Structure 1
Amino acid sequence: MKTQDPFTLEIIQNSLRAISDEMFSTIGKTAMSPIIYEVLDMATAITDADGELASAGSGIPAFVGALDKSVRAILDKYPDDAIREGDIYITNDPFYGGVTHLNDVVLIKPVFADGERIAWVVNIAHWNDVGGKSPGSMSVDANEIYQEGIRIPAVKLFSNDELITSVMDMLLANSRMPDFLEGDLWAQISALRVGNKRIKALAGKYGTATFRDAIQGYLDFGELMAARTLKALPEGEYTLSEPQDDGSELSVTIQVKAGQLIIDLTQAPDQSDSPINISRDGTLLACQMALMGLIGDREMANGGCFRVMQVKTRPGSLYDVKAPGACGIYFETMIRLNDLIWRALAENMSEHLPAGNFSSICATIMGGTHPDTGKHYSIIEPEIGGWGGGPGGDGANAMFCAMHGDTFNCPAEVAETRYGVTVGQMALNPEDGGAGEFRGGKGIVIDYKIRSDNSFVTCAYTRSVVPPWGLKEGHNGTANRIEVIRDDGSSERYAMATGINVNTGDTVRVITANGAGYGKPENRSQAAIEQDLKNGYVTVEYARSVYGFNQSGSR
């Protein structure tokens, strides 16, 4: 008999969210790597016994829908009687439930009460180095997954609450930074143990039947909320093709009908010889992020929300890679797809959605020998940039893209302490661009001064050629890229490159795009233009030529 008390169900549902957040906090407070404890490149979740996402904690939006898929990979691989209370599983392989790329390591633990499996706790975090051909385990020239690091194919890490030391030994032996790896791993293990303890107590207090009813009710509510969002949108079929920086073209067809969202990606290019492929699960994540953007309530994300969506892919394509395709730079294809879906909707619903943003992870990897410690160091930084203007407001300055929405940039003080660099500047991008009635937000400029010879830089930036797109006659934004400024004053520009050699005195300058504008620039108010000039967001020449502004107060 189902529990009918709505107050009890609500308490359990909110408790699950609190437990997810507590697991998240546990990792953040105990991890070894700044990419985890400062940037928060991680996520936590709870699923029901069958692997449907019940609750997600804070963390990267792109990870929210990843973790249920990892649980299902365990359920597919292991028979029920082989899954026991003291087990912890580990995976990072997109062909074995890892979903993203080898740096993102997932830990999974079943939760039992009264001898019955009632849930799973799961988390994911980005590890600095998991081996492979390049330091940092990401390279834009890898052509098969074997070059990208150690593959962990959904194996047991703990059995009967005992660490399987042979697995740990293999992990440590394959990393250039084993001390960081071990510290981050134990942080994730601690979070699982916290989640397991809290869920057991919750089920013990209210009973396992009531616990299950609460999860099912939460999932049903998520489905209802998503269906209502889609029913409020104009029904129709929207198709968009967009050129990409590398000269290729990506296409999508979206159908909104009767509270359902159907996304057809079967026209995607064949999978690539470069590491920009994504698994079908990764493609689902990009689509799920777009749906949650429409719903607008990140904290309510659960498996029920995604029941209203159907995604069509073609095996062997860019969006449904087959082994041993490389996936290390999957994130740029994922954000390109998310942005493609958003643009297809925005161009048909421009009264509700904003113009294009810098829309890139702008992954920046630097490393070498730390000049103070003599040890290998590695910086792995996603960057912040400008968002597009929208109906009624300018775009946000210096924010992460949709994929990294709950993260932070690494403070200069931490970067200088933990890494072998000096941060020369961190400022808003002064370039002109993104004009509109509501202008695009500003990107950033960061200078990293290299302090040791024979260091390296790897970068993976898109929107470096094709800029953020304007809406309703708003102007496009600017471009993402890095510049390597040599000690002799010469400079080089890069967007996709592996292992650029840099030496003492060289500067790596990160430049992220200003977002695109919304509406005709001539409709921008005089007061807004004057404020832009005061803030240094536009030059006088640009204000005159694009906005028709003159300092006499008229146009």
Structure 2
Amino acid sequence: MTTETHDPITLEIIQNSLQATADEMFAATRKTAMSSIIYEVLDMGTGITDAKGQLASSGAGIPGFIGVLDKSVSFLLSKFKPEDIEPGDVFITNDPYYGGVTHLNDLVVCMPVFADGRVIAWTANIAHNSDVGGKSPGSLSADATEIFQEGLRLPAIKMISKGEPIPGIFDIITVNSRMPDFLEGDLWAAIAAVRIGARRLTELATKYGISTFEHAMANFMDHGEKIALAELAKLPHGTFELTEEQDDGRFFNVKVTISATEFVIDLRDNPVQDFGPSNAGYDDTLVSMQVIFKALTDSTSPANAGSFRPLKVLTTEGTTFHASEPAAVGFYYEIGIRGYDLVWRCLAPHMPDKLPAGHFSSIAGTFIGGIHPDTGRQYTIIEPQIGGWGASPGRDGNHAIFSAVHGETYNCPAEISEARNGLFVDRMELSTEPGGEGEFSGGHGIRLDYRIRRDNSFLTLGYTRSRILPWSLDGGNEGSANYILVMRTDGTSERYAFGSGIRVDADDVIRIITGAGGGIGDPKARDPAKVADDIKNGFITPERAAEVHGYKAA
């Protein structure tokens, strides 16, 4: 018989076991998924909640995805009666108006964990899937005006009952996809992950006792709150405000009020929801605010529900940060990162030790597809892009890494793209477009060329920071833009930041350009030795160095 104990060593072992379980779930998904967006890019997340749907571990994967999972479980708990949740059940949602939080491509799979006849926790998985139907291949449509055009909606339903698939559910899901075998394979990878997680947690609770298991989760949430409050005490207190123009001409507003006990982000004064797909649901806005809040309140400690107790996010329903059904939400991720960056820019002048100048600040979602010239099957590339980060006091920005909110992902290797998809990767290198110069300069983005192999292929993209550039600090130069050039075989080219279903044909080149981060300080104060190195490395031309840095070669 297990002896219940609440000693701190046992509680710490349980907490670390929760993290290990989330990591094992992540590995199970990565090793069994069919789509490169999951097994190579790792565009996914896994996590664990307590029985009430509160985040119990830091999870594994994209921070912005892990923050989705507790909200999905909470919705399921509000929809289903306790007696309708049984051992072996698996639930699914993808609809932001029904606990899905993000957009329809992101399938959230959740499983209750039982011990001694009752639910003691939940395991959950989220991943971006290649195609869930809708009016455009890849299910992203820049011209969508309502969510019905964006794909199959799964409004928090049970898909497996007592361990057995419910007849018809998988058929409904796969028949709505242009890539049904990939979707089904990725879905079973997610199911495998939550099942192995549930098994591990039941073993853990059995070993240490259910009371000890539940106390460990609650205790660590209280610890997360204590860390957050201790860090809040170190931040500058007061109210800070910012208004910023966006690429589409709208103005976004934020007011941040920081005290010893609360961190309040007020986004109520913002434009009404977009007629197109540039909207986010409240829960996704909350996730983005949780990520920036955690970055400011000890980013090195584990995150759980307690970590976010001092955070309050205020929105107005029917606005772009709190869209109402049936608004389209396909490009939700650019609204989430715009909100994140708004808070960052608002607070950066007051927290130079924590926040650098602006980065390329776009998920830069890129979707390329068509019929594979060798196999005759539909393919779709789904890629976030890497870009330049802003300079910090005393240090240049990083080159070519993923944007905030979307960390913990990887660019897909060229060999995988060429083998799995119907195109060639002609080049990938750092972009040397002017921008981001300062005493300390922003990091560089990339230039990536995809060459199409078959006529009647397509490009869909949604980039921000294409017109309104990454912001600088203390007299540095703004960064450079995010955009795509479609370079036609007749020598013409077209520039895009948003678009869907753009036709590309054999030997057309899709050139992806991501921005440099903003600089810090007067560019003419830059160390001449660093300028000489920049010239040597090809980051800046001698003419540009003379213009912005006042550099004269020895």
How would you bin the TM-score normalised by the shorter chain?
over 0.9
| Counterpart residue type for residue 239 of structure 1 | E
Aligned residue in 2 for 1:10:
12
1:111 is matched with 113
Pairing 1:508–2:510 present: yes
> Following the alignment from structure 1 to structure 2, what is the Cα–Cα distance between the partners of residues 298 and 500?
42
Q: Are 2:231 and 2:298, in contact at CA under 8 Å, matched by a contact in 1?
A: no
Q: Which residue is equivalent to 1:279? A: 281
User: What is the match of residue 138 of structure 1?
Assistant: 140
Detail structure 1 runs of 4+ shifted over 4 Å in the superposition: none
Specify the code of the residue in structure 1 equivalent to 2:553. Q
Q: What residue in structure 2 maps to residue 353 of structure 1?
A: 355
User: Paired residue for 2:173?
Assistant: 171
Structure 1 residues 227, 190: CA separation in 2 closer, same or farther (over 3 Å shift)?
same
Unpaired runs of 5+ in structure 1?
none
Instruction: Give the CA deviation at 1:176.
Output: 0.2
Hey, what does 2:183 align to over in structure 1? Answer: 181
Question: Which secondary structure does the structure 1 equivalent of 2:96 belong to?
Answer: coil
| Alignment check: 8 A CA contact 1:227 1:259 kept | yes
Q: Decide whether aligned partners of structure 1 residues 100 and 12 sit closer, same or farther in structure 2, where only a CA change above 3 A counts.
A: same
Q: Spell out, residue by residue over 1:125-151, the C-alpha distance to the aligned partner (whole angstroms, 9 max, x if none).
A: 000000000000001110000000000
1:352 Cα deviation after fit: 3.4
Is 1:29 aligned with 2:31? Answer: yes
Q: What does residue range 400-479 of structure 1 map to in structure 2 within 5 Å? A: 400-479=402-481
Counterpart of 1:265 (choices 264, 267, 276) is 267
CA contact (8 A) 1:363 1:383 kept: yes
Q: Which residue of 2 aligns with 1:96?
A: 98
Q: CA deviation at 1:438?
A: 1.1
> Is the 8 Å Cα contact of residues 365 and 378 (structure 1) preserved in structure 2?
yes
Task: Show the counterpart of 1:541.
Answer: 543
Q: Which residue of 2 aligns with 1:64?
A: 66
Q: 1:455 to 1:98 in 2, by over 3 A?
A: same
Determine helix, strand or coil for the equivalent of 2:309. Answer: helix
Give the secondary structure class of the aligned counterpart of 2:350.
Answer: coil
The AA in structure 2 aligned to 1:477 is: G
Which residue identity is paired with 2:459? V
- Give, as a single letter, the amino acid of the residue that structure 1 aligns with 2:318: G
Cα 1:367–1:299, aligned 2, differ >3 Å: closer, same or farther? farther
Paired position in structure 1 for 2:210: 208
Partner Cα separation in structure 1 for residue 365 and residue 484 of structure 2: 10
Deviation at 1:302, TM superposition (A): 0.9
Q: Which amino acid aligns with 1:121?
A: T
Judge which range, 294-303 or 202-211, deviates more: 294-303
Deviates more, 1:56-65 or 1:365-374: 56-65
Distance in 2 (CA, whole Å) between partners of 1:165 and 1:472 is: 62
Match of 1:497 in 2: 499
5+ unaligned residues in a row in structure 2: which ranges? none
Secondary structure at the residue paired with 1:377? strand
Separation of aligned partners in 2, 1:165 and 1:357: 48
In the TM superposition, what are the counterparts of 1:200-239 in structure 2 within 5 Å? Answer: 200-239=202-241
1:362-401 counterparts in 2 under 5 A?
362-401=364-403
Amino acid in the other structure paired with 2:147:
I
CA displacement at 1:472 relative to structure 2: 1.2
Which of 238, 249, 252 is matched with 2:254 structurally? 252
1:3–1:213 CA contact under 8 A, matched in 2: no
1:57 Cα shift?
Answer: 2.4
Structure 2 letter corresponding to 1:519: G
Q: What is the identity, as a one-letter code, of the residue corresponding to 2:125?
A: N
- Looking at structure 1, the residues matched to 140 and 298 of structure 2 have their Cα atoms a distance apart, in angstroms, of 32
- CA distance, structure 1, for counterparts of residue 51 and residue 253 of structure 2: 37
CA distance in 2, matches of 1:241, 1:256: 18
User: Deviation string for 1:339-374 (max 9, x for gaps)?
Assistant: 001000102223432000000011111111100001
Aligned counterparts of 1:474 and 1:33: Cα–Cα separation in 2: 41
Letter in 1 for 2:234: A
Query: Aligned partners of 1:74, 1:197: CA distance in 2, in Å?
Result: 20
2:6–2:212: 8 Å Cα contact kept in structure 1?
no
Q: Show the counterpart of 2:303.
A: 301
Contact 1:353–1:391, Cα closer than 8 Å, also in 2: no
Q: What do residues 4-24 of structure 1 show as CA deviations (whole Å, max 9, x unaligned)?
A: 411000000011001001100
1:58 & 1:489 partners in 2: Cα distance?
Answer: 45
Amino acid at match of 1:80: P
Instruction: Provide the C-alpha distance between the structure 2 equivalents of 1:211 and 1:4, rounded to a whole number of angstroms.
Output: 9
Q: Is the 8 A contact 1:44 1:56 kept in 2?
A: no
Q: Which residue of 2 aligns with 1:487?
A: 489
Is residue 101–residue 281 contact of structure 2 (8 Å, CA) maintained in 1?
A: yes
1:483–1:508 contact (8 Å) kept in structure 2: yes
Bigger drift between 35-44 and 292-301 goes to: 292-301
Q: In 2, Cα distance between the equivalents of 1:402 and 1:221? A: 25
Taking the aligned partners of 1:296 and 1:422, their CA distance within structure 2 comes to: 43
> Shift of the alpha carbon at 1:296?
4.3
Single out whichever of 352-361 and 143-152 deviates more from structure 2. 352-361
RMSD: 1.1
Q: What is the letter of the counterpart of residue 521 of structure 2?
A: G
Residue 64 (structure 1) shift: 1.8
Deviation at 1:289, TM superposition (A): 1.0
SS across alignment from 1:403: coil
SS at match of 2:186: helix
Aligned-partner SS, 1:430: coil
Taking the aligned partners of 1:160 and 1:376, their CA distance within structure 2 comes to 34
* TM-score calculated relative to the size of structure 2: 0.98
Partner of 2:367, secondary structure, is strand
Amino acid across the alignment from 1:130: V
Conserved? CA contact 2:389–2:397, under 8 Å:
yes
* Bigger Cα displacement from structure 2, 63-72 vs 299-308: 299-308
> How much does 1:259 deviate?
3.1
For 2:305, the aligned partner's letter is G
Q: CA deviation at 1:3?
A: 4.1
In 2, Cα distance between the equivalents of 1:433 and 1:91? 42
| Distance (whole Å) between structure 2 residues aligned to residue 329 and residue 158 of structure 1 | 30
Cα deviation, residue 116, structure 1: 1.7
What residue identity is the alignment partner of 1:200? Answer: T
Contact 1:228 1:259 in 2 (8 A): no
Q: What are the within-5 Å matches in structure 2 for residues 188-207 of structure 1?
A: 188-207=190-209
Q: Which amino acid aligns with 1:104?
A: D
Aligned counterpart for 1:342 among listed residues 341, 344, 347:
344
